[in-house]
Amino acid sequence: MTEHICSLVVNTQPEKRFAVETSLNELPGVSVEVNDPSGKMVVLLTHTHQNSQVECIDQIKGLQGVGATSLIYHQKISND
């Protein structure tokens, strides 16, 4: 089985950061690891297919209150 793991920095408006965190945590394979009062979040994505990650990143970019996303790290892990 193959697993794709990546991390993002998601920038939000500080007053919307908790609403954005709730929306992010509802997405499959997504967890918010850091939610800073400045509106910056560190988000971890774990999926079995890279296409799923790309679609998820696009969903995150479209969430209400999200200003920008930056891919920080991507790793493909094969458990063969």
The predicted pLDDT at position 80 comes to: 67
What lies within 8 Å, CB to CB, of 11 at 6+ separation is 39, 40, 41, 66, 67, 68, 69, 70
Which one has a higher pLDDT value, 1 or 36? 36
Q: What are 52-75's pLDDT values in tens digits?
A: 999 999 999 999 999 999 999 999
Residue 20 has pLDDT above 80, yes or no: yes
Q: What is the pTM of this model?
A: 0.90
Contact 65, 16 (CB under 8 A): yes
